[in-house]
């Protein structure tokens, strides 16, 4: 399929078949000025088509390409225009295999052999899982990656209710908190099921982030304002893993929803 040009940035976009049987559909955005930079792979957010929520992936891919970074927005197997594998394997294993195949295809098309993975929600989870097994990944951008409540976060939530005059909810929350203290729960040790995602135990997530940082993977963790006590402060990640302070970049947008619906939130 011939490439199309989008003025004024002179970004070309080409459908790039991926996989041994070209079963994956993806669109590669690039400009003529690629200068020894990594390519970016933009992973599906949940089961959304490769355009992303509110066309976020389209805007992001074109902007990155205009700055000289080839950017691929992909439909993983079973999502959007890509058919499912039908081999009975897990979605996570399939996503990792597809992302690694995309890297190989991009290298063949552009010469780029280092990669940044961008993912929102389950896209962040798939990016982490791929980075864990493929040294070609040198960067991760994760929007609303797994989150975990802390005592400080719970206190911040209660104080915020006091500040905003939510007295009745506060009384109920205090009661629930006292009940948890009487019968402690191992919440941090057990997987959480949140918005259809099964989060790994905190210790496992922290170990993976620590391992990636030690390997030299650059990480930008972006959090929206919908996570409640699981993320309600710009540096809550460092409440989980203090040793990572200064080694992972964080952006926190408390006014944004999970899929960054508003244009102002997307622009930020």
Residue 221 pLDDT > 70, yes or no? yes
In eight-state DSSP terms, residue 232 is -
Are 128 and 66 in contact by the 8 Å Cβ rule? The answer is: no
pLDDT at 180: 55
Lookup: tokens for 196? 């259809």
Chain segment 62-88, per-residue pLDDT in tens: 999 999 899 999 999 999 999 988 777
Using alpha carbons, select from 101, 94, 102, 153 the residue that is nearest to residue 125: 94
Q: How far apart are CA 219 and CA 90, in angstroms?
A: 26
> Mean pLDDT over all residues of the chain?
85
pLDDT at 175: 54
| pLDDT tens-digit series, residues 152-182 | 877 887 766 666 665 555 556 655 664 454 3
Tokens (6 digits) for 15: 């459908």
75: number of CA atoms within 13 Å, CB side? 22
> What pTM was computed for the model?
0.84
């Amino acid at each position: 399929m011939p490439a199309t040009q989008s003025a004024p940035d002179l970004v070309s976009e080409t459908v790039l078949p991926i996989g041994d049987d070209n079963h994956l559909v993806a669109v590669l955005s690039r400009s003529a000025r690629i200068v020894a930079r990594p390519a970016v792979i933009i992973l599906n957010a949940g089961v959304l088509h490769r355009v992303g929520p509110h066309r976020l992936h389209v805007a992001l891919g074109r902007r990155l390409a205009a700055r000289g970074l080839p950017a691929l927005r992909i439909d993983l197997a079973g999502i959007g225009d890509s058919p499912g594998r039908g081999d009975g394997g897990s979605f996570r294993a399939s996503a990792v295999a597809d992302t690694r195949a995309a890297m190989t295809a991009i290298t063949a098309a552009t010469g780029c052999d280092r990669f940044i993975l961008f993912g929102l929600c389950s896209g962040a989870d798939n990016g982490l899982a791929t980075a864990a097994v493929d040294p070609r990944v040198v960067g991760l951008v994760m929007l609303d990656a797994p989150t975990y409540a802390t005592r400080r976060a719970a206190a911040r939530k209660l104080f915020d209710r006091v500040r905003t005059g939510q007295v009745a909810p506060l009384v109920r929350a205090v009661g629930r908190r006292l009940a948890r203290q009487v019968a402690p729960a191992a919440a941090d040790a057990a997987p959480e099921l949140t918005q259809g995602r099964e989060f790994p135990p905190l210790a496992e997530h922290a170990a993976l982030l620590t391992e990636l940082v030690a390997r030299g993977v650059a990480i930008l963790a972006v959090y929206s304002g919908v996570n409640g006590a699981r993320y309600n402060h710009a540096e809550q990640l460092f409440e989980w893993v203090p040793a990572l302070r200064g080694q992972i970049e964080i952006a926190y947008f408390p006014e944004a929803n999970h899929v960054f619906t508003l244009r102002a939130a997307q622009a930020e």
